[in-house]
Amino acid sequence: MAKNISFPLVIILFSIVFFLINSSNAMPSFNVQRYGARGDGRTDSTKPFLTAWSLACRSRARAMVYIPRGTYLVRNLVFWGPCKSHITFKIDGTLVAPSNYWSIGNSGYWILFAKVNRISVSGGTIDARGAGYWSCRKNGGHCPQGARSMSFSWCNNVRLSGLTSLNSQNMHVTVHHSSNVRIQNIRIRAPSGSPNTDGIHVQSSSGVTISGGTIATGDDCIALSQGSRNIWIERVNCGPGHGISIGSLGDYVNEEGVQNVTVTSSVFTKTQNGVRIKTWARPSRGFVRNVVFRNLIMRNVDNPVIIDQNYCPNGRGCPRQSSGVKISGVTFANIKGTSTTPIAMKLDCSRSNHCTGIRLQDIRLTYMRRSSASYCRNVHGRRSGVVIPRNCL
């Protein structure tokens, strides 16, 4: 009797499971090749990409834009939202910019997602081929403003995983005016001498997690600019590059502050800075608070630990040489390794707004196997555990 009942039951269960698997596979997929994209590295595939996007964006069901293997030449791509549903943007190929840098360099953006609410971008390589643009800038020629490689502006619920970004003209990845963004296992590469090629730049955004990744570039590996809140950064390999920075802040008088930032379990190799807070030496209502830098390894870093509130290149626009940005509640803990300069720790705070609540805990930074030194001005806080170099706090 029991057998007779359970047999139809098993059939029904199987049908349900089959239906569920099948329906999740049935995500509409918009393959860019179907709309004319060619993975030959030569055919301009800009329009087919935009067509695939607009169809996916209009889909009521969760939809996919799919880029198969191959090399696709694309000019500026602006992917506008809002979309009706979640979009998966899956890249198995490589996107390259035209070799003439003017082609994307005038608009400021190469690949831009704007006002998109739920999006997962995964895999793939984007190569902006920035070398010509950098040399134009270095030669002081007449150059376009330069394009950021991949940007998310006014987006929410973003996941970017496994992307490789090469040789951006300008910044590689930007997150502006966005929230709930996860960036996982990113690989970024540009030469150490390439100008302004920040790895990831965050501004006016909240809830940004960057976990895993290797960033080697010519400017900051990660820069957290004004209005960055609730930021978590872990397991990043940075170098070469200018380190992980909060700033530059205090560019303007009315500026949003930066708060609740954690940088942990990361390694800096041959970078100009390790962890840095940098503010212009001019009036501002900005602030930096609740920041933790911990569990970090420095390998041959010029300035492993640095707060610089006297940033004023060429002495222009800094009338009183004193920053209005208030820095408070910053912890540096368990930071070990080597400095290439004798001053391994520099905390140079504003004369008019001293740094407060600075905590130094378990720091050991050496200079060519010799003892290192520190430079501290206008800093208040406390020290615990073994802190080398000494003399601060």
Q: Which residues of the shown chain bind ligand NAG in the complex (CB under 6 A)?
A: 207, 230, 232, 260
Residue whose C-beta lies closest to ligand NAG: 230
DSSP, res 314: G
Nearer to ligand NAG, 85 or 184 (CB): 184
Nearer to ligand NAG, 45 or 205 (CB): 205
Using the Cα atoms of residue 11, residue 17, residue 23 and residue 29 in order, give the sign of their dihedral: negative
**CA-CA distance, 220 to 167, in Å (whole number)?**
14
**CA-CA distance, 376 to 387, in Å (whole number)?**
14
Q: What share of the chain is helix, strand, coil (3-state, %, to 5)?
A: 15, 50, 35
Q: Is 242 a catalytic residue?
A: yes
Residue 288: CB minimum distance to ligand NAG, A? 14
Nearer to ligand NAG, 207 or 342 (CB): 207
**Amino acid identity at 362:** D
For 358, the token pair is 């600075």
In 3D, which of 294, 267, 276, 172 has the Cα closest to residue 212?
A: 267
Active-site entry in 86, 242, 354, 380:
242
Nearer to ligand NAG, 122 or 262 (CB): 262
Residue 60: CB minimum distance to ligand NAG, A? 32
Residue 260: CB minimum distance to ligand NAG, A? 4
For 367, the token pair is 């200079």
**CA-CA distance, 159 to 171, in Å (whole number)?**
19
Residue 210: CB minimum distance to ligand NAG, A? 10
Residue 259: CB minimum distance to ligand NAG, A? 8
Nearer to ligand NAG, 63 or 296 (CB): 296
DSSP, res 370: B
Task: Render 284-307 in DSSP notation, one character per residue.
Answer: ---EEEEEEEEEEEEEEESEEEEE
Active site residues: 242
